[in-house]
Amino acid sequence: MHDEDPLAQQQRLFELVRDQHDGARELPLDGQQLRPQLAAGQKSLNLKGYSLCIWDGWRSVEAQWRLWEVCPDPRYVADPRNGVSNHCRGNTVDITLVTLEGGPVEMPSDFDAFGPEADRDYSDVSPEAAANARLLEEEMAAAGFAGYSAEWWHFTDCDAYEVYEGAAA
């Protein structure tokens, strides 16, 4: 059974993408407040034959500015001129479902596919992709996360966190 702690999975992800995000570092220890919630979601999904795969989480304010430069569309990237993204607070994850073995599950779109298929209306995707996205939504809501209407993969802890800019301890 794929029962790896999602936060440990996220730490490894940040090691792999640190150079791409130019400034992204491992999740700050404060962000570990998400650990129990993600673990609860993981446990529930494991019982249904799925696992969580974290694509993105904490990012530095500098990385947020770089993302805005590449995609200046407030539906998909928070405009840093309007305040700090929840990703910079460590209370937001971009996440998907995978099989227990880590294999792909049909979802509405690829990660960061900024278009109509990314929203949570699901009218323009297959019934299987819609059902999988709804399952992810339900499980993340049960674990204390709120979804974002323009991105099926984006979930924010309902608690507010302070911005974190230092290197992880």
Q: What is the pLDDT of residues 15-70, one digit of tens each?
A: 433 333 344 334 443 445 677 888 888 889 999 999 999 888 888 888 889 889 88
- Percentage of the residues of the chain whose pLDDT score is greater than 90: 41
Report pLDDT for 91. 85
Question: Are 115 and 121 spatial neighbours (Cβ–Cβ below 8 Å)?
Answer: no
Report pLDDT for 14. 40
CB atoms within 10 A of CB 133: 23
pLDDT band at 5 (very low <50, low <70, confident <90, very high): low
pLDDT for 167 beyond 60: no
The yes-or-no answer on residue 151 being catalytic is yes
Q: H or E stretch including 126?
A: none
What phi, psi does 13 have (nearest 5°)? -60, -45
User: Which is the catalytic residue, given 138, 151, 162, 165?
Assistant: 151
pLDDT for 143 beyond 60: yes
Q: How far apart are CA 25 and CA 13, in angstroms?
A: 10
Cα angle at 86 between 13 and 3, to 5 degrees? 40
